Structure 1
Amino acid sequence: MSKTFTIARFNSNVSKYEAKYNMKKAEKATFRTAMLYRCLVREIVNSKKEN
């Protein structure tokens, strides 16, 4: 009984940590995407100015 309880508590802690980690990863990914998008927009604007 106590063994399964400990495992369950450990698993819930792990899932909490994973959720936090995935949030951080998602934030980084969106930030990177935003930067790439900004660069892309700048390139498009520059190419339109040249034409």
Structure 2
Amino acid sequence: MANITTIERARKAFWFVALWMAGVGGAMLLALPFKLLIKAGAAIH
């Protein structure tokens, strides 16, 4: 019984970390075009 709860806890922790990393990665991908636009704007001026 204790083994099952440990596995469940590890599985929940894994999903939390996986979803958090996916969220951070998605935010970075969304920010990338804006970062490039800012760099391009700074290069023009």
Question: Where on the TM-score scale, by shorter chain, does this alignment land: which range?
Answer: 0.7 to 0.9
| Root mean square deviation, CA, Å | 1.4
Under a length normalisation based on structure 1, what TM-score does the superposition of the two structures give?
Answer: 0.70
Question: Unaligned stretches of 5+ in structure 1?
Answer: 1-5
Q: Which has the larger radius of gyration?
A: 1
Moved over 3 A (4+): none
Identical positions, percent? 0
- How many residue pairs get aligned? The number is 45
State the partner residue of 2:15: 20
Q: Could you tell me which runs of 5 or more consecutive residues in structure 2 were left unpaired when the two chains were aligned.
A: none
Provide the TM-score with structure 2 as the length reference: 0.76
